[in-house]
Amino acid sequence: MEGAKGERDEMGGMKWKGETKIPRPPNAYILYRKERHHLVKKLNPGITNNQISQVLGQCWNMETREVRAQYKSMAEAIKKDHREKHPGCQYKPRRPSEKRRRNTNANNHASAPTPQFNLPELGAVGTAA
């Protein structure tokens, strides 16, 4: 079905109502999270993605300037490449009504206390080293 929700076009972008949405390039934290997600999951079986983000957010805030600079450099390179591949691409945030609809379910789960988890080792991992 043309333009169906979740369908990818030939460039890798998502199609919504017939319009192709080019994904934004990841920032430094997103690259950090992507690289360490499996480590946290391995140390904490049964952990949810929201909890993984909380754990990695704590780790990111404790990282050294050097490690954060490595990820920022990687993000800048990806951003530059993205600009070259998609020169006219411009971020278009969702309308407030769409945000409200999608956040309704998230608010129902926000009141639970955050349990403690095992943190992965800090420092460069994988491609950032």
Q: Where are the domains of the chain?
A: 26-85
Residue found by looking up tokens 């926000």 in the block: 110
Say if CB 11 and CB 22 are below 8 A apart.
Answer: yes
pTM metric for this prediction: 0.67
Instruction: Report how far residue 44's alpha carbon sits from residue 55's, in angstroms, rounded to the nearest whole number.
Output: 10
Strand partners, 8: 14
DSSP 8-state assignment for residue 86: -
DSSP 8-state assignment for residue 110: T
pLDDT digits (tens, 9 = 90+) for 3-42: 444 555 555 555 556 667 889 999 999 999 999 999 999 9
**Which secondary-structure segment (H or E) carries 55?**
helix 49-62
pLDDT tier at 51 (50, 70, 90 boundaries)? Answer: very high
Mean pLDDT across the stretch 70-82? 97
Domain 26-85 has CATH 3.40.50.300: no
Say if CB 7 and CB 91 are below 8 A apart.
Answer: no
Structure tokens at 28: 């430094």
Based on its alpha-carbon atoms, the radius of gyration of the chain, rounded to whole angstroms, reads 18
